[in-house]
Structure 1
Amino acid sequence: MQLQRKLIGLLGAMMPLAGVYAQQQPPATKDVQPLSVQQAIDYALANRNSIKTAKLDELIALARNKEVSGLALPNISATGTFQDNPVIQKQLIDASNFSDTIPKGTLVPFAFGLKYNALGQVNVQQVLFDPSVMVALQARKTLEELANKSVVKAEIDVKSDVYQSYYQVLSAQKAHKFLSENISRLDKMLGETQEIYKNGLAEKLDVDRLTVQVTNLRTEERKLANTIDVTIATLKYQIGMPLNQQVLLTDTLDVNQVKNIGEDGSFSYQNRIEYQLLDAQKRTNEYDLKRYKFAHLPTLAAFGNFGASRQSNTFNYFKSEMWYGYVAWGLNLNVPIFNGNQRRSQTDQAFLRLKKSETDLDNIRQSIDLERQTSAITFKNNVYTLDAQDKNMQLAQEVLESTRIKYREGVGSSLEMITAENDLLTAQSNYFSALYEAIRAKIAYLKANGKL
């Protein structure tokens, strides 16, 4: 009964969350959907919002990388301008410069330009050498890898949640099956005792004791049934399934499979997605440092402009009048000389970020070592506890059978029967608690070793 109370207490806290989630879900089919643990994982990977968010972040990173690629491609733009000059600005010029017959110092106002002006121009720019662009192009693959690994980490976290929720349901269902068998056995014993009491060979106290025990067990059975409903709702939430969708779990809880971890002795820090993320971040910081180091180098770009213009004192631009074209091209060289030591400060910051990444990698290696050792010890202890509780449960079952035989033969009391029954219930509760803890320990061990 301790197992039932633990499950109710643990999952009761999840019920408000599951209720909110249920209100947000679309109507689901009433057909029962078979669900293995692998199908549950596949469903979660396709429907969990955390996975969708991680994949959207990956697409954003890929789009940002395409933006970086555009820095190395030609930049082409076109402009068009139309200008109306109601009053044209005039300037004074010395008219003697145009004729020897005009006295020196004769100033004449002169208007440069016409009333209407139109201009069309195409500008082309192409980077020929820019270290920052080169480094950005080199870093694209690492940035894509970083975004992809964020998706992988989200998937691993979802797998861990689904595994625990799925096997939590199986554990509760198996506990419910055992409890139902206990009730059937005790109910049968109650019926036999009532017949014996009618024949005057048993006391009413014996009947009352068994009646109270059966009532208590049926109460616990209802609580455990409610607990199973909550665990299934939690599983649906974990995989992103509508809560009103009926499911049937098809996998079984194999104790031998729980104990088997398939250890092959091989391990690499690269097995852990957290290490891969930090390693990719370190390489990104290396490119960042490289970019600032190359910032002192000159940049070279080519440009070209071509267009056509027309000026007129009358608005007749829809007629085929003469347009005057022009073309210009050249190179633009930019040589950094002094920028107030900003580049040096930026380089120092990038260097410190790189050192911090190296420290983070060293720290996570130590953390992984601790997790692996702790999870291995915890798993072994839980398996040992599971075996011990299994033997204890079998022993309690044997004691109950012996007590039942004695009671039927009239050499045992109903109190001994109830005590043996309670001992079996306690042993079963301890067994299922140990079983679920072993499942959790196995999942933690596989996750710590990067095998989940």
Structure 2
Amino acid sequence: MNPYQVARRSSTTLIMFLAGFALPSTLMAQNRHEMSVQQCVEYASKNSVTVKNALVDIQIQQQTNKEITAQALPNVSGNIETIHYPKVPVQSFPNFIAQGTYGVLVAEGVRKGNGDPITAPEDFGLIAAPFGTKWNASAGVSLNQILFDGQVFIGLQARETSIQWATRNAEVTMELIKANVYKVYWQIVIGRKQMETFDANIERLDKTLSDTRAIYQQGLVEKLDVDKLEVSITNLRTEKMKVENSLKIGLMGLKFLIGMPSKDELVLTDTLSEEKLKENILDDSYKYEDRKEFQYLQLGKKLNEFNVKRYQLSRIPTVSAFGTFSKNAMRDKFNFFNDGEWFTTAFVGVRISVPIFEGFAKNARVAKARLELQKTQNQEELLKLNIDNEVDTARIKIGNALLTMESQKKNMELAESIFNQAKLKYDQGLGSNLEITNAQTELKNAQVNYYAALFDAVIARIDYLRAIGKL
């Protein structure tokens, strides 16, 4: 579940986001979507593949919890078995027949033919004989029920925490997607505002070119002055085309980010104002618990604490109950479904398993779980330091960004005023074409710097709100 990074385009302040996923503009739109930035975020929460996978992880954890619950429920199994012995196993056993016979003869005082009393030999030997039938069958059902197992009980206690942990992970993923949606959305909006300045600049130069051509026809200026203005207009139109293509790529990137089909048409409806950038940026209060990452780590620490308890309880005895009921039959032929007796066997019992020695494996598991918990505690302290640093850095950046934006706005307004004065002087025959060209260049640079500062302010605001957990 990785968030996409945005690269800043220095010349036009646009983000070339996910340029590799841009598709030809000739594709016909299947659906039209008019969306605010919040609607884009909501769309991403339902359609982004990264978010979908995070939500699937919650469902996976739910199924894992069912497995844990199943360990505390009765475990019932049935079995049917048939065994055929082509050769019945032979078993050897003491010759009790001869021993019994001699015992009777000796007890009755029977004598040999020569009149000597019969005496039993010291060793009667063994009898080797097939023992059993060629066909055996059994059918039965067995039940096992855990009565006490510390590890299972801890697993049951941790179920709710594990669901919360998976949910927080999805929220962290969604917040990263949300931040990137904001950034890409506003970079497109700013790019379109910049397009308006291109149109205004081209319109101004077109007017100046028309006037210069008229003056040239009167022989008051050189052909070089006309050519310079034509070059300037061509350059402006070329830059405008680049910005238009960048906007198309950025829009494709936004659709990819929120999970929208590339053939659909996306129309952005929100507008950006400087006043909106300054809203709610003076709130100095923040809590670690407001950050989704901190909540996620807290739940991870709690799960590690459960893990320590689980391994500790593995040292104590476990108690379980069991029982079996079965029917068994023995035949010399396969005729179990004909008349013949099936013998019943049934038993119940309680088993207590006492762990005695496992080569110190349990001690190692407990120690390992404690070390994992210690790592989580260390990560918590590191995250606190990181949050503090992010908030302090974001405060400085947004302050600087807003000051720079105000400064660049004044520069842009001043450059526009200078251009208008140069144009007025030129129209009155008091200025030169070079002054107009230079003034236009300064105006264009001031506009580029302003929109770069505006975009920096947007990014700084998003980073600040995310740092304090209020994005």
TM-score normalized by the length of structure 2: 0.88
Q: C-alpha distance in 1, partners of 2:281/2:433?
A: 48
2:92–2:126 Cα contact (<8 Å) kept: no
In structure 2, which of residues 420, 426, 441 is the aligned counterpart of residue 422 of structure 1? Answer: 441
Q: C-alpha distance in 1, partners of 2:400/2:427?
A: 40
1:186–1:214 Cα contact (<8 Å) kept: yes
1:165–1:238 Cα contact (<8 Å) kept: no
Cα distance, 1:263 vs. partner?
4.7
Closer, same or farther: CA 217–303 of 1 in aligned 2, 3 Å: same
Q: C-alpha distance in 2, partners of 1:369/1:316?
A: 81
Q: C-alpha distance in 2, partners of 1:364/1:147?
A: 19
Cα distance, 1:115 vs. partner?
2.3
Cα distance, 1:204 vs. partner?
3.0
The one-letter code of the counterpart of 2:362 is R
Q: C-alpha distance in 1, partners of 2:154/2:318?
A: 13
SS state of the match for residue 310, structure 1?
Answer: strand
Superimposed CA distance per residue, residues 335-377 of structure 1 (whole angstroms, 9 cap, x where no aligned partner): 1122222222221111111111111111110110000000011
Superimposed CA distance per residue, residues 174-195 of structure 1 (whole angstroms, 9 cap, x where no aligned partner): 1111111110111012112212
Q: C-alpha distance in 1, partners of 2:314/2:127?
A: 54
Aligned to 1:156: 175
1:129–1:300 Cα contact (<8 Å) kept: yes
Aligned to 2:224: 205
1:4–1:223 Cα contact (<8 Å) kept: no
Superimposed CA distance per residue, residues 226-278 of structure 1 (whole angstroms, 9 cap, x where no aligned partner): 22122112212222223333222111122211222355444211111111121
Aligned to 1:33: 33
Q: C-alpha distance in 2, partners of 1:298/1:90?
A: 40
- Of all paired residues, the percent bearing the same amino acid is 35
Provide the aligned length of Structure 1 versus Structure 2.
443
SS state of the match for residue 381, structure 1?
Answer: helix
Closer, same or farther: CA 346–32 of 1 in aligned 2, 3 Å: closer
Structure 2 residue 148 is the aligned partner of structure 1 residue 146: no
Q: C-alpha distance in 2, partners of 1:156/1:340?
A: 47
Gaps of 5+ in 1: none
The one-letter code of the counterpart of 2:97 is A
SS state of the match for residue 6, structure 1?
Answer: coil
In structure 2, which of residues 238, 243, 246 is the aligned counterpart of residue 219 of structure 1? Answer: 238
Aligned to 2:154: 135
Structure 2 residue 383 is the aligned partner of structure 1 residue 381: no
Q: C-alpha distance in 2, partners of 1:426/1:40?
A: 32
2:11–2:448 Cα contact (<8 Å) kept: no
Q: How does 1:245-264 map to 2 (within 5 A)?
A: 245-261=264-280, 263-264=282-283
Aligned to 2:97: 95
1:4–1:220 Cα contact (<8 Å) kept: no
Structure 2 residue 189 is the aligned partner of structure 1 residue 170: yes
Q: C-alpha distance in 2, partners of 1:297/1:164?
A: 55
The one-letter code of the counterpart of 1:388 is S
In structure 2, which of residues 16, 21, 44 is the aligned counterpart of residue 18 of structure 1? Answer: 21
Q: C-alpha distance in 2, partners of 1:345/1:140?
A: 25
Q: C-alpha distance in 2, partners of 1:30/1:408?
A: 51
Cα distance, 1:14 vs. partner?
3.8
Q: C-alpha distance in 2, partners of 1:64/1:371?
A: 36
Superimposed CA distance per residue, residues 259-309 of structure 1 (whole angstroms, 9 cap, x where no aligned partner): 223554442111111111211111111111111222221111000011111
Q: C-alpha distance in 1, partners of 2:278/2:167?
A: 33
Q: Cα RMSD over matched residues?
A: 2.3
Q: C-alpha distance in 1, partners of 2:399/2:105?
A: 114
Aligned to 1:447: 466
Structure 2 residue 82 is the aligned partner of structure 1 residue 77: no
Gaps of 5+ in 2: 1-7, 107-119
The one-letter code of the counterpart of 1:333 is I
Structure 2 residue 338 is the aligned partner of structure 1 residue 319: yes
Q: C-alpha distance in 1, partners of 2:171/2:162?
A: 14
Structure 2 residue 61 is the aligned partner of structure 1 residue 58: no
2:12–2:448 Cα contact (<8 Å) kept: no
SS state of the match for residue 77, structure 1?
Answer: strand
Q: C-alpha distance in 2, partners of 1:343/1:305?
A: 32
1:4–1:227 Cα contact (<8 Å) kept: no
SS state of the match for residue 331, structure 1?
Answer: strand
Cα distance, 1:146 vs. partner?
1.1
SS state of the match for residue 296, structure 1?
Answer: coil
Closer, same or farther: CA 295–109 of 1 in aligned 2, 3 Å: closer
Aligned to 1:46: 46
Closer, same or farther: CA 292–90 of 1 in aligned 2, 3 Å: closer
TM-score normalized by the length of structure 1: 0.92
More helix by share: 1
Closer, same or farther: CA 320–267 of 1 in aligned 2, 3 Å: farther
Closer, same or farther: CA 189–102 of 1 in aligned 2, 3 Å: farther
The one-letter code of the counterpart of 2:96 is D
SS state of the match for residue 139, structure 2?
Answer: strand
Q: C-alpha distance in 2, partners of 1:200/1:6?
A: 38
Closer, same or farther: CA 291–5 of 1 in aligned 2, 3 Å: closer
SS state of the match for residue 95, structure 1?
Answer: helix
2:14–2:187 Cα contact (<8 Å) kept: no
